A and B are shown apart, each in its own frame.
Chain A
Amino acid sequence: MWQFIQNQILGMKWLKDLVYRICEQLFGTTASGVGAYVAFFIYDMIKIFTLLCVLVYVISFIQSYFPPDRTKRLLGPLGGLKGRIAAALLGTLTPFCSCSSIPIFMGFVSAELPLGMCFSFLISSPMVDLGSLVLLTSVFGPSIAILYVILGLVIAVAGGSIIQTLQMEDQVADFIKLTDQQKSLRTLKMDLSDRLVYAWTQLAATISRVWVYILLGVAIGALIHNQVPAALVVKLLGKDSPFAVVLAALLGIPMYADIFGTIPVAEALLAKGAMTGVLLSFMMAVTTLSLPSVIMLSKVVKRKLLAVFIAICTLGILCTGYLFNFLQPLLYSL
């Protein structure tokens, strides 16, 4: 049953068969040359965009029940470890881009939520969401996807706890604390049709933001799929390459892309024998930290706290990579 869901629904094997058969008719072969590129490109584009549309629509609908103001109210009375776990969990329900989670983070800080909770939210928000759970299931299978999400939450909670312990409240930009305590703003009640419109507009906005990255991702994926020899991938990213995780993380951290854009690259590399941990640490690095989001955050927190935040995320990404590499034989036998 799981196998069917993973292969046919999430992986869309039927679509692959169809596309490859058509391309074989058109180009003679899909094993090499133009046919191979076209087939990979068309199949992956359709698959990723279908998953993107369905996922963003469904998640945005759920999200409409958890606007940031409500999240803030839900988190308000909580504190300590329980508060950080709640913050990390609610972080999974927020928008897909780290750039949009920073204003929410600022709102939390100015509402005087404990700093540890704010950071648990800030780490988990881009790192894990329902979309990444489904996408990772389609590529790596359910056990790896679930473990990835759990690890992401653990990093978020642990990161928040460390920052709480370090008592870095003075490291937040002064203007946030100087804001006079929130006058409470009102919002209009949404009915079902408003929520559906909301989900629709979110989908349109997401597609207009990420289609370039997906196109790029699929193109790179096609290139890897058809040009890069498996021996090279195994040598660089396989099990005999102890620093591949570090390399993947360092490459991924400054990059700004969307998890949807990294999927085709990861898929192509996995098929050529790259280690799971290497791919996951790359994906985590791309989505969690990026140059634009760090620049944005640097306006909001002072240098020391920014450094601690980056260090925690980097360490978490590396641990995730090495843990998955270590567990790989076990996970695929499940």
Chain B
Amino acid sequence: MLIKVIGSEGSCDSCETTMENLKIAVAEMGLDAQIEKITDLVEIVKLGIMTAPAILIDDLVLFPGQVPSVKQIKKTLAKLV
């Protein structure tokens, strides 16, 4: 599974936190996932995403504009896999 974390360059505190929480959640769930970070504005627009931070799995946007907690991420990922 490829999980992308979307964050804009300027205010990336929030996407750092999202990234960390996601890593913890994935590790705790023992998922086999590759995590990639996208901060390039052009890339983000190309993906069609309008709110950062966000988590993208295939064509599914999770937590747009939010910094989800480890618990929230685990709950949502559990529904998906």
Q: A residues engaging B (CB < 8 A)?
A: 67-69, 72, 95, 99-100, 103-104, 106-107, 110, 175-176, 179-180, 182-188, 197-198, 201-202, 205, 209, 292, 296, 299-300
Contacts and interface: CB of A to CB of B under 8 A. Distances in A.
Nearest to A187: B61
Given A184-B48, A209-B11, 19 more contacts: A68-B64, A69-B50, A103-B44, A103-B45, A106-B41, A106-B45, A110-B48, A179-B45, A179-B48, A180-B46, A182-B48, A185-B59, A186-B59, A186-B61, A187-B61, A188-B62, A201-B67, A202-B65, A202-B66
B52 interface: yes
28 contacts: A67-B65, A69-B50, A95-B65, A99-B10, A103-B8, A103-B45, A103-B49, A103-B50, A103-B52, A104-B50, A107-B48, A110-B45, A110-B48, A179-B48, A180-B46, A183-B48, A184-B59, A185-B47, A185-B49, A186-B60, A186-B61, A187-B62, A187-B64, A188-B62, A198-B66, A201-B66, A202-B65, A205-B67
A183 B50 CA distance: 13
A184 B60 CA distance: 9
Nearest to A106: B45
B14 interface: yes
Nearest to B45: A106
Contact of A67 (B45, B62, B64): B64
Given A67-B64, A103-B8, A103-B52, A299 B14 contact: no
Contacts, number: 78
Contact of A175 (B45, B52, B61): B45
Contacts of A209: 11
A99 B48 contact: no
A94 B46 CA distance: 22
A122 to B, nearest CB: 13
Contacts of B46: 179-180
Interface in B22-81: 41-42, 44-52, 56, 59-62, 64-68, 72, 76
Contact of A104 (B14, B51, B56): B51
Interface of B: 8, 10-11, 14, 41-42, 44-52, 56, 59-62, 64-68, 72, 76
A300 B50 CA distance: 14
A13 B14 CA distance: 37
B10 A188 contact: no
A95 B14 CA distance: 15
Contact of B50 (A106, A198, A201, A292): A106
A184 B61 CA distance: 10
| CB-based closest 4 A-B pairs | A107-B50, A68-B50, A182-B48, A104-B50
A41 B46 CA distance: 47
A157 B62 CA distance: 33
A176 B50 CA distance: 12
Contacts of A187: 60-62, 64
A176 B66 CA distance: 24
B59 A99 contact: no
B65 A100 contact: yes
Contacts of A175: 42, 45
A209 B42 CA distance: 25
A188 B42 contact: no
Nearest to B57: A186
Nearest to B53: A205
Contact of A185 (B41, B52, B61): B61
A185 B48 contact: yes
Contact of A107 (B42, B45, B56): B45
A183 B14 contact: no
